[in-house]
Amino acid sequence: MQADHFDQQKLLALAAEDVALAQLAHRRRTLPENAAVSAAEEAQRTLAADVVRAETEVRDLDREQKRLEADVDGVRARAERDRQRMASGTATPKEMTSLQQELDSLARRQGDLEDQVLELMERREAADEVLATARSGLDSARADQTAAEQARDAALAEIASGEQAHGATRTEVAGTVPEPLLALYERVAKQTGGTGAAALHARRCEGCRIELYGTELAAARNADPHTVIRCENCNRILVRTAESGL
C-alpha cells in the first residue's frame, strides 16, 4: 500500500489516543475504589448480622428476666397468703407446721430466683455493651461505604471525562487519515488487540520492542517514504520518523 508519508505520521497520534483509551479502560476494570466499596459492603453485612445477633440476645434475656420476675412475684404472693393464713388464727397446729415449712421453702425458692434475676441483669448489661459496639461498628461501616462509593464515583467520573476527551481527539485524528490507510490501521489494531501502528525508533518497533535486522532492516531503509511497511513480528504499520535510525 502507498500512503502519504505525512498521513502515516498521523497514525502515531491515533495510536497514542488508542493507548490512552486502553489505559483508561484498564483502570476502569481494575479500579481499587471498587475493591474498597466491596470491602465496605462486606463489613456492613457482617456487622449488620452482629447487630441482629446482639439484639436477639437482648430480647431473649429480657424475656427470660420477665419470666423469672413473674416467678418471684408468684412466690411472694404465695408466701403472703401463707403468712395471712398463719396470722388468721384459724389454722390447726399441723397446718401451722406445714405452712411454716412451705414458707421456708418459698423463701429459698425466692432467693434462688432473685439470684438468677441478678445474673440475668449482669448478662443483659454485657449484651447491651455488645449491641452498642455492633451498632457503632455498623454506623462506621456505613460511613466507610458512603466514602468509598463517593471515591469510586469520582474516579469513574474522571475516567469518563478522559474517555470522552481522548475519544473526541481520536475521532478528530481519524477524520484526517485517508480511508484505505485508516481501514488498514483499524484491521491491524483489531488483530493486535491494541494499536495498528507503531513508530520505528532506533531501528526498533515500538509496538513489540523488537529491533529490525538483516533483510527486514534493509527493506525498511530502502522503502519509498510513501510505502506503508509492516513489522514482521507484530504486523503493525511501521511509521518512519527522523529518529528511526535508518
What's the pLDDT tens digit per position in 111-130? Answer: 999 999 999 999 999 999 99
Model confidence band, residue 91 (pLDDT cutoffs 50, 70, 90): confident
Over residues 207-232, the mean pLDDT reads: 92
Contact yes or no for 207/198 (Cβ under 8 A): yes
pLDDT band at 245 (very low <50, low <70, confident <90, very high): confident
Give residue 92's pLDDT band: very low, low, confident or very high (50, 70, 90): confident
Reported for 25-31, long-range contacts at CB under 8 A and 24+ positions apart, including other chains, are 25/163, 27/159, 28/156, 28/159, 31/152, 31/155, 31/156, 31/159
Percent of the chain with pLDDT over 70: 100
User: Which pLDDT does position 208 carry in this prediction?
Assistant: 93
Please list, residue by residue across 206-243, b when 16 or more beta carbons sit within 10 angstroms of its beta carbon and e when fewer do.
bbeeeebeeebeeebeeeeeeebbbbeebebbbbbeee
pLDDT tens column, 133-164? 999 999 999 999 999 999 999 999 999 999 99
Enumerate the β-bridge partners of residue 229.
238
